[in-house]
Amino acid sequence: MDRSLLDSALAEDIGSGDITSRYFIPPGQRGRARIVARQRMVVSGLGPAREVFSAIDAGVGVSVAVADGDALESGGVILEAEGLVRSLLTAERIALNFLQHLGGVATLTRRFVEAVAGTRAAILDTRKTLPGWRALEKAAVRHGGGLNHRMGLHDAVLVKDNHIAAARAAGLDLGAIVGRVRAENPGILVQFEADTLEQVQEFVGLGADAILLDNMSLDELRRAVALVGGRCRTEASGGVTLETVRSIAETGVDLISIGALTHSAPAADISMELRGLPDEVRQTPCGPPD
């Protein structure tokens, strides 16, 4: 996890200090907390959650009951933490934010993966991620059983309609550009986005490693797959939902990319329960803040 993301999360939530806990929680009070799933979900974000507790108080002990990628029923325990109650409560929301968002991504991904089970299609993410969260969100997709598309503009070539329009307006030859890319970047993936079957035919001829079939109908997808004939990978993209993904997979495409995995995943329903407080401690007045 990028430490700057953790530092930013701590700074925006805690600021100059947790005023509520400073007034209402005695400084030496200790307890235990459990983070529990309130729905069926796939776990992701355990590393960041542990780092939150450690950053706030190195004396907090955290034990995880599951692993990233595990499926939980409602009521299942994700992790337990023990230490100063002030520290537990200060860490609560930040840890839950990581677990809820990343668990939501993993859970939605698992639903898509299960929807295409038995077909050849794999589920991919996109670059439609929250700034600063990409590595974590893409890890959550993997925890849900999906695969990662390129991490960024630096590790794969995806030639889209705007690239093609600009290159042709400049009089450049697409085939020559592909040759230069491969010569200067050995092993890099070269993919073209196609809106029509004519483009599919053209891009296969250019030696593309993969063709992204953008917003094509089911019939167009089937015809594109037949046209490619296994010479490169085919990827369907655009407006994919849980209701349509099975039909798309059954056209024979190799990959289905879905931006909603990261930009629209509902947060998983998770809560933290404070435990292990003796009655006499619960009833002890706090007095003035330290």
Please write the tens of the pLDDT for every residue from 36-83. Answer: 999 999 999 999 999 999 999 999 999 998 999 999 999 999 999 999
Q: Which residues make Cβ contacts (< 8 Å) with residue 25, sequence separation at least 6? A: 85, 86, 89, 286
More confident call, 280 vs 30:
30
Cα distance between the two ends of the chain: 33
Q: Domain-by-domain residue ranges, the chain?
A: 3-111+267-282, 117-263
pLDDT at 2: 81
Q: Using N-to-C axis directions, what is the helix angle for 85-115 and 134-143, rounded to 10°?
A: 60
Q: What is the pLDDT of residues 274-289, one digit of tens each?
A: 987 765 444 444 444 5
**CB neighbours of residue 165 within 10 Å:** 10
Side-chain half-sphere exposure of 10, counting CA atoms within 13 A: 18
pLDDT confidence of residue 282:
45
The per-residue DSSP string of 22-45 comes to HHHS-TT-EEEEEEEESSSEE---
Q: 108 Cβ partners below 8 Å, 6+ apart?
A: 144, 260, 261, 265, 266
Q: So which residues are the catalytic ones?
A: 93, 128, 160, 193, 214
How far is 46 from 64, CA to CA, in rounded Å?
Answer: 8
Query: What pLDDT, on a 0 to 100 scale, did the predictor assign at position 211?
Result: 98
Q: Is 274 helix (H, G, I), strand (E, B) or coil?
A: strand
Are the C-beta atoms of residues 103 and 140 closer than 8 Å to each other?
A: yes
State in words which class domain 3-111+267-282 has.
alpha beta
Strand pairing class (61-64; 157-159): unpaired
pLDDT tens digit string along 135-182? 999 999 999 999 999 999 999 999 999 999 999 999 999 999 999 999
Residue with token string 């859970």: 107
Provide the H-helix boundaries in 57-133: 85-115
Q: What length is written for the chain?
A: 290
Model's pTM, two decimal places? 0.93
- Assign a CATH topology to domain 117-263: TIM Barrel (3.20.20)
Q: Please tell me the distance from the alpha carbon of residue 259 to that of residue 242, in angstroms, as a whole number.
A: 13
Q: Which residues contact 166 (CB under 8 A, 6 or more apart)?
A: none
> Tokens 């939530």 correspond to what residue?
13
Nearest to 191 by CA among 232, 139, 240: 232
Q: What is the mean pLDDT of the chain?
A: 95
66: Cβ–Cβ under 8 A, 6 or more apart, which residues? Answer: 43, 46, 72, 76, 77, 78, 79
